[in-house]
Chain A
Amino acid sequence: MSYYPSHLTRFHGLPVHDFPTGPEGAERDAPPAPGSVAWRLSCLLDEIPFDTLWPRFLDEVPTEEVTALVLGAWWDDWDERGIDPVLDAITAEAHRFPRLRAVFLADVESEETEISWIKQGDVTKVLRAWPRLEELGVRGAEDLVVEPLLHDGLRTLRVECGGLPREAVRGLSGCDFPALHRLDLWLGTTWYGGDCTREDVDTLLASLGDRPHLRHLGLRNSDIQDDIAAAVAATPVVARLDSLDLSMGALGDDGGGALLAGQPLTHLTSLNLNHHFMSEALTRRLSETLAPHGVDLALAPARRSHPAQGRYVAVGE
């Protein structure tokens, strides 16, 4: 199973459509209705600079009707400046996107740049620019900045990365997203900047206690997956969840045991523990405990090239 992210095909319930940038100009077929697709902008499609691509998009697409925007590579050559100038350019036109509800930042694959090398920026700018935004997705976390803020529209937040910096986790803990339904964070490995601790996770979970609508929680792809499992096992917000995802990390018997010993999880519709390092005995106990209650349990172990190989996260570099 490959956990590495590939280009989105759907986003915010819409098919992703590449804004055509070729020398041939206009679309070969009639362009889709502006609100019927998630528009992806990528400078690598035809190697044109973002400073050219963005005005063309504004000219050619009725942006007032656009609901979902997917930013692919914003560099046509290589990324020297990171995403911040691009975020400034986009948010400066926020008034032209009154119906925008979903933004994804950096829908790029490893062939374009490795996930841990994506230069993110202050994504709070996007939330401030669109108070009615419902979904924000972010890939890559180097230089990721999250300033504490109140945003009462956001329902879905997803950060995919090889290492989520502690400051970003703390920033998220300081945010207030009262409408949040789905939170999915890849915490990553210290090797790639994922340096948050159990204490940071506890603080984050405590902050979620105030979010009455949360139904899905993913805290995954972590070096400290055992600590995360132990923290989750004790946190009240779990009682409200439909699904919990602790996959892709270095989850072993300590973490699995903490889940068994903690609060009941039998109310969950699904529990994803794929890419784990637990013993067969423990996975059997998890199955015996949860499966009879109808919990859809995903328990595919991590692949190891040899038994002595240490535990590792699914997505790092």
Chain B
Amino acid sequence: MSPSENETGARFAVVGNPENRRVALFARAVTAAGLPAPRVVPWTGVLRHGRAEFAPGEIVRVDSPGENAEVDRLLRGVDDPTRVEGSAHWYTRFLTAVGGLRGGVRLDDPDELAVLFDKRRCHAVLDAAGVPVPYSPTSGPAGASVGGWDDVRLLMREHRMPRLFVKLAHGSSASGVLAVEAAGGGRIRATTSVELAPDGRLFNSLKVRRYEREQDIAAIVDTLAPDGLHLERWLPKASQHGRAADLRVLVVAGRATHAVVRTSAAPLTNLHLGGSRGDLEAARRAVETAGGSWAGALAVCERAAACFPRTLCVGVDLLPATGWRRFAVGEVNAFGDLLPRLTGLPGSGAEGLDTYAAQVAAVLRAHPALRTPARPQSIRHTQHRTGPDHALA
């Protein structure tokens, strides 16, 4: 049955890795809303054929191509999925593949994905919109380009950044991220999940390592640099019980709906690197006790998301500065919604809904006509405070 023949007219498709729990969780949310199960369009097919067609009115969700060795090989051109290298290839091929998706009603936008998956461009877009971000010398097209460790050292000196994050411009899940700190007497240290093999190859590791020999740090950065690097000042983060904390805030259709606190003894808070979920209520209290505004913190995330008006949902990494009163946006993630079993914030409109159900509800809310027989249509975000009014189609 083609989507246009469906009697409700509301038919979802998801481009993803069919075996991945992201796809299963989204499908469950769709069927729970009383809609037919989404058509799953595997990334392997999109990448092999270079295109995929969607029917008019078919609502198309593009999900992460991650966690699939074959897809990873097609995107990065690297045989071992644990290798760090290849993110520039990944970026080019991913955008090409997204460009091959034709028709349907999209919940994302190729141009916005191109920004979201380039940390340098993303930083510049946020900065220009007045969203607080840590200082970066590599922001946007006018930013410095980083050819290797010598350039990093130079930028650290020129921009007075003895503590900084070195990130792959197109990396995700903390892959290729180094938290670098330098002090007098030539002391230097990099904290990272990158494992430097004796032969110089780089691997993503679940163990966070500390490198204190500059030659090792230089070897890692020199190997990463051809894929593109983004540097950001290391903002001292607030803490919970002695562990550095940040927040992942999901923004759906312009509104902050879900939030988790992540805490870690290391500067990287990713959950797969030993980070753990912190206490959200305690974070909210800490903000208000410090004289800050919790609503203001969420509004920062909504302003960041408003930079991507054609993208239904983004995951914003919000960094609370030490003292819990000021905030900056670390990253905006296109596929930041994998927060299983987490339900919506009070007053967000997503109470009782997980991240996937909230997105399905937002689509249906934005366009109730989806429940009637299909016809050419568009979905309009209604809750953005800034940015152009626009169609998702």
The interface of chain A, by Cβ under 8 A from chain B, is 2, 4-7, 18, 20, 22, 24, 27-28, 42, 44-46, 73, 77-78, 80, 109-114, 117, 317
- A80 contacts across to B, CB distance below 8 A: 184
In angstroms, Cα B244 to Cα A113, docked, is: 12
A6 lies within 8 A of B291 (CB): no
Interface residue SS majority, chain A: loop
| Contact assessment for A28 and B326 in the assembled complex, using a CB-CB cutoff below 8 Å | no
The answer to the question of B265 belonging to the interface, with a C-beta cut-off of 8 Å to chain A, is yes
- Least CB distance from B77 to A in Å reads 34
Tell me which of B24-32, B146-154, B233-241 binds A.
B233-241
Contacts of B290 in A (CB 8 A): 18
**Does the CB pair B160–A77 fall under 8 Å?**
yes
Q: Does residue B162 face the partner (Cβ distance < 8 Å to A)?
A: yes
Residue B6, interface by CB 8 Å = no
Cα of A20 to Cα of B236 in the assembled complex, Å: 18
Q: B239-259 toward A: CB 8 Å interface, digit per residue (1/0)?
A: 101111000000000000000
Q: Which residue on A lies nearest to B212, using beta carbons?
A: A317
Q: Report how many residues on chain B are interfacial, defined by Cβ distance under 8 Å.
A: 26
Chain A, Cβ-Cβ closest to B237: A111
Give the docked Cα–Cα distance between A113 and B241 (Å).
17
Query: Looking at A73, A112, A117, which has the most chain B CB atoms within 10 Å of its CB?
Result: A117
- On chain B, the residues within 8 Å of A78 by CB distance are 160, 162-163
Q: State the main secondary structure of chain B at its contact with A.
A: loop
Q: Pick from A24, A44, A117: contact of B323, CB below 8 A.
A: A44
Bound complex: CA A312 to CA B183 (Å): 24
Contact B322–A22 (Cβ < 8 Å): no
Task: List, sorted by A's number, 23 A–B pairs whose CB atoms are closer than 8 Å.
Answer: A4-B242, A6-B239, A7-B239, A18-B323, A20-B291, A27-B291, A28-B291, A44-B323, A45-B325, A73-B236, A73-B322, A78-B160, A78-B162, A78-B163, A109-B242, A110-B244, A111-B236, A111-B267, A112-B236, A112-B322, A117-B181, A117-B183, A317-B210
Top 10 A-B residue pairs of the complex, sorted by shortest distance between their CB atoms = A6-B242, A111-B236, A112-B236, A45-B323, A78-B162, A111-B237, A28-B291, A111-B244, A2-B242, A117-B183
Q: When the two chains form the complex, which single residue of A4, A27, A117 contacts B265, counting CB atoms closer than 8 Å?
A: A4
Known contacts: A46-B326, A111-B239. The answer to whether A2 contacts B265 by CB under 8 A is yes
Smallest beta-carbon distance B9→chain A, Å:
51
A44 to B323, CA, bound (A): 9
Is A22 a contact of B183 with CB atoms below 8 Å?
Answer: no
Cα separation A80 to B182 with both chains bound (whole Å): 11
- A46: B residues at CB distance < 8 A: 326
Q: How far is the CA of A151 from the CA of B162 in the complex (A)?
A: 38
| In the complex, chain B residues 277-326 whose Cβ is within 8 Å of any chain A Cβ | 290-291, 321-323, 325-326
Interface assignment of B187: CB less than 8 Å from any CB of chain A:
yes
Complex Cα spacing A24 to B325, Å: 12
Picked from B184, B243, B291, the residue with its CB within 8 Å of the CB of A22 is B291
